[in-house]
């Protein structure tokens, strides 16, 4: 498992959280149990690692681990944020050696300041770190020197009574750490591929030539609702190629994005809460919104690049559909001299290059809307925005005065209570990047909405009822947004 290709990033998100069950009495996939994923890469745990809920599942998957001493063969280093300032000189030197050799460094419960200090020790440029003062912005932040980053969002509540029961949390942690450790195992030191980077037709293919920047975000969704406390998650994986057009003075950022929503654990179908004296049916996905803007650091803040500087090319998908299977394809050709970071460092091509990517997914009962140029709530707008809405269709309604399990007009569409996979592809082109792309970020927001129906008696004498549709927006607390610090391509041709 020590080789990795682009396809791992597609597989990674597809298998995220599959061990989770489909709720208490409801449908949903995720019932198939996978074997525990482990890695035999030599790992070192530095300092005291607290017994947070997800950490025992993580540690148990490191089958070859030691404490504190970073040896010559170490490939994984794990430490808690409060140990960054107490690292010894030998430990700092060991961290640097692991990083330089392609190993993975994992910081637990990092603040932005502590992660910045740690990245300074090894010489790493942070990709997806958020400055939230003294607060931990995620549970784990993992990175290597090959442009790969994995951010595991908060998995636990702020108070003891928040979140699901212990078994549901344990199952969730096990599934989450399976995928996190698999990511580590596929991004540790490895032999660099020696492919010449040419397609079968003899053309240069950037997928094989350009070293891609990859970022995976795992987010936890805790649902605390009358009579139900459940947990699930979603993942967003980005695969990004950066190129510079010497002939026309453009930067190109090619994005391949995959979102995976694990809807099953939030579906309970029917339940009755005796305290609220209400009947409930739900939860199922109502819609998912994915929003991206390209921003530049100007003065002391980031600002969206205007449309006369940045434009979006070939955003996919662009059509509204409802088919059972859908393919999102993108291809682009450059007829220019190009600069990029390749497998062996900065590289260039004088005869142009091509790019092609295609992904197929099941999207029955989903209406897709491309909303490029339209804002999302308080978010800035611009014609460069990569913005999609996925709306569930044919959702069930609540029958009047029914309170049994058959109170719905029909079952919810399978995609709304099972795993949903969405693909987005686009290219951002930036004019005169030396002046307009000094420090670029992709500012991203994800909004999953889930809904349920409730029925309650308003008069016990006349048996009159009241029905309500309730929506849960998991982005309301600001948890489901982030950014990616983009690695710009080299804009100076390498010496011949």
pLDDT tens column, 187-228 = 888 644 433 333 344 457 888 889 999 999 999 988 888 888
What total of structural domains would you count in the chain?
A: 1
Specify the higher pLDDT residue, 362 or 84: 84
Is residue 286 assigned to a domain?
A: yes
pLDDT at position 58 over 90: yes
Q: 410 lies in which domain range?
A: 226-496
pLDDT at position 299 over 90: no
Beta strand pairing call for 213-225 and 338-342:
unpaired
Q: Name which of 443, 148, 106 is nearest 305 in CA terms.
A: 443
| pLDDT at residue 471, as a whole number | 84
Q: How many helices (H) and strands (E) does the chain have?
A: 8, 23
pLDDT at position 166 over 80: no
Is residue 57 assigned to a domain?
A: no
Nearest-angstrom CA–CA distance, 21 and 137: 28
Helix, strand or coil for residue 458? strand
Nearest-angstrom CA–CA distance, 318 and 46: 48
Specify the higher pLDDT residue, 4 or 364: 364
Helix, strand or coil for residue 173? helix
Is residue 2 assigned to a domain?
A: no
Is residue 405 assigned to a domain?
A: yes
Q: What are phi and psi of 43, to 5 degrees?
A: -125, 150
| Cβ contact 25:271 at 8 Å | yes
Give the whole-number percent of the chain exceeding pLDDT 90: 54
| pLDDT at residue 401, as a whole number | 60
Nearest-angstrom CA–CA distance, 210 and 207: 6
Specify the higher pLDDT residue, 6 or 22: 6
User: Token pair for residue 65?
Assistant: 């681990």
Residue 281's domain is classified under what CATH number? 2.70.240
**Beta strand ranges found along 172-309 (DSSP E):** 213-225, 228-245, 250-262, 269-273, 278-298, 301-304
Mean model confidence pLDDT for the chain: 83
| pLDDT at residue 27, as a whole number | 34
Nearest 5°: the CA angle 313, 367, 408 is 160
Biggest CA pair distance of the chain: 90
When pLDDT is cut at 50, 70 and 90, the band that residue 253 belongs to is very high
Is residue 8 assigned to a domain?
A: no
pLDDT at position 50 over 80: yes
User: What are residue 338's DSSP bridge partners?
Assistant: 245, 349
User: What are residue 342's DSSP bridge partners?
Assistant: 210, 345
| Cβ contact 156:53 at 8 Å | yes
| pLDDT at residue 351, as a whole number | 80
Query: What's the mean pLDDT in 371-395?
Result: 79
pLDDT at position 164 over 70: no
Hunting for tokens 């004296």 — which residue is that? 277
Is residue 323 assigned to a domain?
A: yes
| pLDDT at residue 382, as a whole number | 54
Q: What are phi and psi of 185, to 5 degrees?
A: -65, -30
> Among the ranges 95-104, 164-173, 349-358, which has the highest mean pLDDT value?
95-104
| Cβ contact 227:280 at 8 Å | yes
User: What are residue 77's DSSP bridge partners?
Assistant: 44, 105
| pLDDT at residue 161, as a whole number | 46
Q: Name which of 425, 420, 424, 370 is nearest 392 in CA terms.
A: 420
Is residue 365 assigned to a domain?
A: yes
- pTM exceeding the 0.75 threshold for the entire prediction: yes
Is residue 265 assigned to a domain?
A: yes
Query: What's the mean pLDDT in 72-82?
Result: 96
Nearest-angstrom CA–CA distance, 214 and 146: 9
Tens-place pLDDT, residues 89-126: 999 999 999 999 999 999 999 999 999 999 999 999 99
User: Token pair for residue 474?
Assistant: 């998991």
**DSSP states along 296-363:** EEETTEEEEPPTTTEEEEEEE--S----S-EEEEEEEEE-S-EEEEETTEEEEESS-EEEEEEEEE--
When pLDDT is cut at 50, 70 and 90, the band that residue 19 belongs to is very low
Q: What are phi and psi of 425, to 5 degrees?
A: -140, 140
């Amino acid at each position: 498992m020590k080789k990795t290709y682009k396809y791992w990033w597609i597989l990674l998100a597809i298998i995220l959280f599959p061990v989770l069950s489909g709720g208490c009495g409801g449908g949903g996939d995720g019932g198939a149990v996978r074997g525990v994923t482990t890695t035999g890469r030599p790992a070192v745990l530095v300092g005291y690692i607290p017994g947070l809920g997800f950490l025992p599942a993580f540690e148990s998957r490191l089958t070859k681990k030691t404490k504190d001493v970073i040896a010559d063969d170490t490939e994984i280093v794990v430490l808690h944020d409060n140990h960054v300032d107490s690292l010894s000189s030998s430990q700092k030197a060991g961290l640097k050696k692991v990083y330089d050799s392609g190993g993975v460094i994992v910081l637990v419960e990092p603040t932005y300041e502590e992660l910045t200090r740690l990245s300074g020790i090894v010489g790493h440029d942070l990709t997806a770190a958020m400055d939230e003062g003294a607060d931990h912005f995620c549970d784990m932040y993992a990175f290597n020197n090959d442009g790969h980053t994995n951010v595991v969002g908060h998995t636990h509540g702020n108070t003891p009574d928040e979140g699901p029961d212990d078994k549901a949390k344990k199952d969730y942690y096990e599934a989450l750490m399976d995928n996190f450790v698999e990511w580590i195992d596929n991004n540790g030191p490895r032999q660099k591929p020696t492919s010449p980077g040419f397609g079968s037709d003899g053309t240069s293919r950037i997928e094989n030539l350009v070293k891609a920047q990859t970022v995976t975000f795992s987010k936890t969704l805790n649902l605390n609702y009358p009579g139900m406390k459940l947990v699930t998650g979603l993942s967003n994986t980005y695969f990004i190629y950066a190129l510079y057009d010497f002939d026309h003075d453009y930067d190109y950022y090619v994005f391949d994005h995959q979102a995976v929503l694990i809807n099953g654990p939030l579906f309970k179908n029917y339940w009755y809460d005796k305290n609220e004296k209400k009947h409930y049916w739900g939860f199922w996905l109502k819609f998912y919104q994915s929003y991206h803007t390209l921003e530049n650091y100007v003065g002391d803040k980031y600002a969206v690049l205007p449309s006369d500087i940045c434009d979006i090319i070939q955003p996919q998908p662009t059509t509204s559909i409802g088919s059972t299977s859908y393919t999102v394809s993108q291809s682009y050709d450059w007829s220019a001299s190009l600069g990029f970071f390749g497998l062996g460092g900065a590289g260039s091509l004088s005869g142009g290059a091509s790019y092609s990517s295609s992904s197929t997914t099941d999207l029955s009962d989903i209406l897709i809307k491309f909303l490029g140029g339209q804002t999302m709530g308080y978010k800035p707008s611009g014609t460069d925005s990569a913005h999609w809405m996925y709306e569930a269709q044919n959702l069930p309604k609540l029958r009047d005065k029914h309170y049994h399990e058959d109170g719905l007009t029909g079952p919810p569409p399978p995609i709304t209570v099972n795993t949903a996979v969405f693909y987005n592809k686009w290219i951002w082109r930036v004019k005169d990047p030396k002046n307009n792309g000094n420090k670029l970020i992709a500012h991203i927001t994800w909004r999953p909405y889930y809904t349920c129906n409730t029925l309650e008696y308003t008069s016990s004498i006349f048996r009159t009822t009241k029905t309500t549709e309730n929506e849960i927006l998991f982005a309301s607390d600001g948890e489901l947004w982030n950014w990616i610090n983009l690695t710009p391509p080299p804009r100076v041709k390498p010496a011949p």
